[in-house]
Structure 1
Amino acid sequence: MPDDSPPAHPWPIGFRATCVRATLYVLLIAALAQGAYYEALHFHEIRFSEQGFIELAQSALLATASALLLYTRQVLRTMPNVSLLMFAFVFSSLIREQDYWLDLWVAEHTWKVLVTLVIVPILYWVIRHRERFAEEFAGYANSFSFGLFAAGVLTTYVFSRLYGRSAFWEAVLQERYLRTFKDAAEETVELLGYALIMIAVIELALLARRWHSARRD
């Protein structure tokens, strides 16, 4: 059986590579923020809706992250259990983002069925291989990727939900309250969270490539 767990001492990241990646990530975040601005400025009829830039960008980020996780598991064959569980989480989020279209084109609550079909077998697999998962996670937990992934999850699934509460914006705006403010706040913070998750997955794929090369050497 091949050793697909992380090595004890993964290759470090060079300073130049760190600067290049940091610059690209800054440009990505800036592009997303600018896209949200243009949506609010020029697309009044669809802004902050399922057809707007923000929703489409969220789906694109999650789809890209899902594909990279499959690449890490199936091609690089590194941390198969950790990457599989992360894929279940990210891909389920992608399905959840399509709830409007699934309800419209298929049937109401279709997304819940699809998410269950993704989550249940993968959880069963990970629990069945829990010892291997624990070994893999011990190496991943100390990485930059894991910190970013945790930050993305907290931003998307905790902070954005609380920050986007109607009660909060009603308290801030009082008689000037409009639902648009709540939607804009929640969706843009959620977009940032998904961007952090995708960056974390990119870092995971790059880390997995270094581990893959280390194993071959």
Structure 2
Amino acid sequence: MPHRSKNTAAIFNAFAHFLFLAVLVSLPVLVIRLDIDTLKTGASEGTLVEYMEQFLICLTILCYAYIAKHNPSFRRFGVLVMGFFLCMLIRELDMFFDELVFHGFWVYPASIVAASAIIYSLTDRAETANQFAAFVNHRNFALLCMGLVMLLVFSRLFGMGSLWREVLDEGYVRAAKNIAEEGTELMAYVTIFYASLRYAFAMKPVKDKAAHKANSNVFCKH
């Protein structure tokens, strides 16, 4: 009976996980529909899609902040990862900085964040390298990498104007191209956040030396 109960719980958890993922991947479509049908803005600057992307980056940063706080053995590389995503957030806020200061100002705060994160991580190069290796060996890295590739490569190729002009021919409208590109980007951010959330759940708050030692090896598990 205990064995059967354990199997039932495992099946239930898998089904619940499937439903959670179904809701998660439906989010980009829902947001785009709200942009089109409710906000009447399409998928361009200053839209709900863009705000959701920024929100997901913030959540991603919080995931690594949580890990860095509760796992000192990952702190240096954790700060480096946080700096990377914070630079992405600053880049997404370029229009805000353009209006507040001047065009292209986002480069300056992004450079400061990047330099600070790199300098801190280099205070102990060997430890940072060890943390980097453990990070990429973790089972969730493939999912995180897929999200980054979707964001930095696939969304750019899929959103090329020349591709959509060829597909739509005389019926080409820029809104269709924008929706395809922004929707793909949003799905990539969802994937990145989900992978980062899994990293965060893999960690447990360190309360003693034994727990600290156990957590320092958690990223090497497959």
Fold shared, TM-score > 0.5 on shorter chain: yes
Where structure 1 has 5 or more consecutive residues not aligned to the other structure, the ranges are 1-13
Where structure 2 has 5 or more consecutive residues not aligned to the other structure, the ranges are 1-8, 215-222
TM-score normalised by L of structure 2: 0.81
* Separation in 2, partners of 1:205, 1:28: 17
* Separation in 2, partners of 1:36, 1:167: 22
Match of 2:154 in 1: 159
Identity %: 24
1:124-203 equivalences in 2 (<5 Å): 124-203=119-198
Which of 47, 50, 54 is the aligned partner of 2:42? Answer: 47
One-letter amino acid of the structure 2 residue matched with residue 202 of structure 1: L
Q: Which has the greater radius of gyration? A: 2
Deviations 1:103-133 (A, max 9, x none): 0122211111111011112122323422112
Q: Which moved more, 1:183-192 or 1:127-136?
A: 127-136
TM-score normalised by L of structure 1: 0.83
One-letter amino acid of the structure 2 residue matched with residue 32 of structure 1: P
Deviations 1:38-89 (A, max 9, x none): 3222322x22133322111101100111122112112343511222221111
Match of 2:98 in 1: 103
Note if contact 2:70-2:204 (Cα within 8 Å) is conserved in structure 1: no
Deviations 1:128-172 (A, max 9, x none): 422112212232223232111101110001110111111111121
1:24 is displaced (CA, Å) by 2.1
Note if contact 1:50-1:56 (Cα within 8 Å) is conserved in structure 2: no
Taking only aligned residues, the RMSD between alpha carbons, in angstroms, comes to 2.4
* Separation in 1, partners of 2:205, 2:143: 18
* Separation in 1, partners of 2:99, 2:62: 26
Q: Which moved more, 1:115-124 or 1:15-24?
A: 15-24
* Separation in 2, partners of 1:183, 1:198: 22
Matched residue count:
203
One-letter amino acid of the structure 1 residue matched with residue 102 of structure 2: A
One-letter amino acid of the structure 2 residue matched with residue 72 of structure 1: I
Q: Which moved more, 1:101-110 or 1:204-213?
A: 204-213
Q: Secondary structure at the match of 1:209?
A: coil
